[in-house]
Structure 1
Amino acid sequence: MHIPPDTVSLDDYERRFHERVDAPIRAYISGAAADGVTQRDNRAAFDRVKLMPCALADFSNASARSILLGEVLESPILIAPTAYHKLVYPAGELATAQAASLTRTWMTVSTQASTPLEEVARIGSAPVWFQLYFQPRWEDTLTLVRRAENAGYKALVLTIDATISGVRNIEQRAGFRLPPDVRPVNLDGMAPMPTFDARNGSPVFKGLLDNAPTWATLQALCRETRLPVVVKGLLNPLDVPRAIEAGAAGIIVSNHGGRTLDTVPATLDCLPGVVAAVNGAVPVLLDGGVRRGTDVFKAIALGASAVMIGQPVLHALAVGGMPGVAHMLTLLQTEFEIAMALMGCATLDTIDRSKVITAL
């Protein structure tokens, strides 16, 4: 696939994505919950934070490297879990994993991947995490955990903010349906997740959530696996002690890209409160709205150990296949290093709250 020469930013990839991809698939991948207030605010929150550079720093040993969950992370940018990569490119998650390896980027593979999790783990050389949704049957959840352990995944990313799907009117209006050749192959043979008819209205509190997970379910998962469990979808600092007591090895401040519950705060606005509540006990990551290297810098300045990107991966995969994803990741990594250089920060540990202005 040809990458247009004027594609030089993540926003360019998004623009090209909307030009090339059919409307129903666009609606599924880019569609927000309800009125899209949270999705828009995820992006706007970064614009509200301003940078305050320091001059004439020593860059003789500059590096964007860090340690995360005991592994060397070359750049604090990870691939977030997104479903069904085959919707936009035939090789699907395999192409994404190849691009991740080329750019030394860690990839999080979705429970709802359109490629078996073992195949994705085999094709890449960079560390991979496995994103987990609790299944209706505990034994099915444990089957996914054991498969991830045996395939060499380095961590489990438990998504806690989507016990039920949000109301996605854009997707409903477009009439999105999965094509027959794309399905969540890792769930073959397992009990189906409970569903409701959001288009026409359907009772939610009539058995649909009888087996919804609780903090006790998280604690049971942490006891059952040898992998660190990173909790994704936590916004409220009041939930931090319960997550850590249950055994969480990390927290991802996330609102599901604004795709589940609308009008919750932007993740960047929630980050400082969660970081303060964690108080260094576990690493904190952020996703939602990251589109520039300066966004990565701002998140780290406000306490994140790293950020994750989701939709931009699918935008680049649709536009340029594997080379497109590798190019997009390289652009973001380069932008972040440029931001570090112009901010006078030679290493990640020199990026702190003093480098940003959050209120003018």
Structure 2
Amino acid sequence: MTLRELHDKARQSLDPAHYDYVAGGADEERVVAANEAAFDRYALLPRVLSGAERRDTAVDLPGAPRASPVFVAPTAFHRLLHPDGERATARAAAAEGAVLVTGTAATTAVAEVVAAAREAAPDPAVWFQLYPHPRPEVTEALVRRAEGARCTALVVTVDSPVFGRHTRDLRNGFTDLPPGYAAENMRDLPGAPPGGLTDIPMSPAVTWRDFAGITRMTSLPVLVKGVLHPADARLAVEHGAAGVLVSNHGGRQCDAVPAAVDCLPAVAGAVADRVPVLLDGGVRRGGDIAVALALGARAVGVGRPVAWGLAAEGEAGVRRVLATLRDAYDHTLALCGGRRNADLTTDMVVRKDGTW
């Protein structure tokens, strides 16, 4: 079953409002489409007579040595997609050696997510995605929950000073989770009723000073997610980021930004190998992964494909998605004459219109 077929199976099985919640984006959804379409503008220039019978595609990431080059990007409310929700996703990611970034808006508490991952692997890499809360004590409480759960890194999302306007959700009147579902990581925290889609408070007043404060309150590596501008990438490193994730939130925030992969070369240049650069947004094929790594990413995240795998086939579907993408990338690396990820270099990527 291909990833497209998993998507189609998931769409048939899901409540239409729940499907739209995952598939949709902000406003006219131009950026959702642009993320995938952008990869079609790039082509690979293979090297020849330089490969090896077996490739080493493992990557070293903060709190995740020898991980798969494909990680699970943070997405909300997995129990809308499958009864096992985040537990199934966690077991699948751990079994495939992939980092799981579990979200603040998960429908399973982070401690339970990590426990599920440990059912599949003895030392899984689970990162906790964190929205900086307007109340510092709530932010710190979330950090302590992630530490207590034995997460191996934090990922601070910084592209959400306010929520994006999701046209499909507004049209469907989908504003609240079904009864019995909640953003479990927010449970029992002050001022944060967990039942609505937008009940996690955001604040446009959060600054780099607040991000630096998060890095000081924990010994975990702290990555920053949602960077598109190279100047912000430099600021992230200066303020203690252990990694920079190039992302436009899957097109769910501002509908007037570039595709994530188009921003990758400038961000990677600004970071200059001081910390790992990662990418999410639009990755659907092994060739997409190869392009991203050649342009400066250490690893790539996938969100919607994981959601479709979970909805279609539960844990087995998530494993299928992660294994399919990893193996397709390994095949592409072989076709490009590579032995390891570092063999993919910027000069091996061209635009299909002949320019660069």
Q: Give the TM-score category using the shorter length.
A: over 0.9
Indicate how the Cα distance of structure 1 residues 209 and 160 shifts in structure 2: closer, same or farther if over 3 A, else same: closer
Structure 2 match to 1:153: 151
Does residue 320 of the first structure (1) align with residue 313 of the second (2)? yes
Structure 1 match to 2:252: 259
Structure 2 match to 1:287: 280
Structure 2 match to 1:33: 26
Paired residue secondary structure (1:156): strand
1:75, distance to aligned residue in structure 2 (A): 2.2
What amino acid sits opposite 2:180 in the alignment?
D
What amino acid sits opposite 1:187 in the alignment?
M
1:58, distance to aligned residue in structure 2 (A): 3.3
Deviation string 1:23-42 (CA, Å, 9 cap, x unpaired) is 11011111110001111000
Residues in 1 aligned to 2:243 and 2:338: alpha-carbon distance in whole angstroms: 25
Residues in 2 aligned to 1:56 and 1:245: alpha-carbon distance in whole angstroms: 41
Does residue 191 of the first structure (1) align with residue 184 of the second (2)? no
TM-score using structure 1 length: 0.91
Q: Mapping of 1:226-237 within 5 angstroms?
A: 226-237=219-230
Q: Mapping of 1:193-342 within 5 angstroms?
A: 212-342=205-335
Q: Which of 12, 24, 30 matches 2:5?
A: 12
- Structure 1 alignment gaps of length 5 or more: 1-6, 199-207
- Structure 2 alignment gaps of length 5 or more: none
Paired residue secondary structure (2:227): coil
What amino acid sits opposite 2:181 in the alignment?
V
Q: Which of 165, 168, 171 matches 2:166?
A: 168
What amino acid sits opposite 2:248 in the alignment?
N
Moved more, 55-64 or 38-47: 55-64
What amino acid sits opposite 1:44 in the alignment?
A
1:335, distance to aligned residue in structure 2 (A): 0.5
Indicate how the Cα distance of structure 1 residues 55 and 185 shifts in structure 2: closer, same or farther if over 3 A, else same: same
Structure 2 match to 1:202: none
Does residue 71 of the first structure (1) align with residue 70 of the second (2)? no
Q: Which of 323, 327, 340 matches 1:347?
A: 340
Moved more, 167-176 or 51-60: 51-60
1:139, distance to aligned residue in structure 2 (A): 1.0
Does residue 127 of the first structure (1) align with residue 120 of the second (2)? no
Residues in 1 aligned to 2:323 and 2:58: alpha-carbon distance in whole angstroms: 15
Moved more, 215-224 or 350-359: 350-359
8 Å Cα contact 2:244-2:275 kept in structure 1: yes
**RMSD between aligned residues:** 1.9
Residues in 1 aligned to 2:147 and 2:184: alpha-carbon distance in whole angstroms: 18
Indicate how the Cα distance of structure 1 residues 45 and 147 shifts in structure 2: closer, same or farther if over 3 A, else same: same
Moved more, 265-274 or 63-72: 63-72
1:194, distance to aligned residue in structure 2 (A): 10
Deviation string 1:132-188 (CA, Å, 9 cap, x unpaired) is 011232111111111111221111000000121111111111221310121101101
Indicate how the Cα distance of structure 1 residues 192 and 45 shifts in structure 2: closer, same or farther if over 3 A, else same: farther
Indicate how the Cα distance of structure 1 residues 346 and 36 shifts in structure 2: closer, same or farther if over 3 A, else same: same
What amino acid sits opposite 2:65 in the alignment?
V
Q: How many residues align?
A: 343
Paired residue secondary structure (2:301): strand
Paired residue secondary structure (1:112): coil
TM-score using structure 2 length: 0.92
8 Å Cα contact 2:244-2:278 kept in structure 1: yes
8 Å Cα contact 1:20-1:319 kept in structure 2: yes
Deviation string 1:47-105 (CA, Å, 9 cap, x unpaired) is 10011112222314521112222632342110011111000111110000111121111
Indicate how the Cα distance of structure 1 residues 95 and 62 shifts in structure 2: closer, same or farther if over 3 A, else same: same
Structure 1 match to 2:134: 136
Q: Percent identity?
A: 41
Residues in 1 aligned to 2:11 and 2:325: alpha-carbon distance in whole angstroms: 20
8 Å Cα contact 1:165-1:260 kept in structure 2: yes
Residues in 1 aligned to 2:348 and 2:204: alpha-carbon distance in whole angstroms: 45
Residues in 1 aligned to 2:204 and 2:338: alpha-carbon distance in whole angstroms: 48
1:356, distance to aligned residue in structure 2 (A): 1.3
1:263, distance to aligned residue in structure 2 (A): 1.7
1:11, distance to aligned residue in structure 2 (A): 2.0
Structure 2 match to 1:357: 350
Paired residue secondary structure (1:286): strand
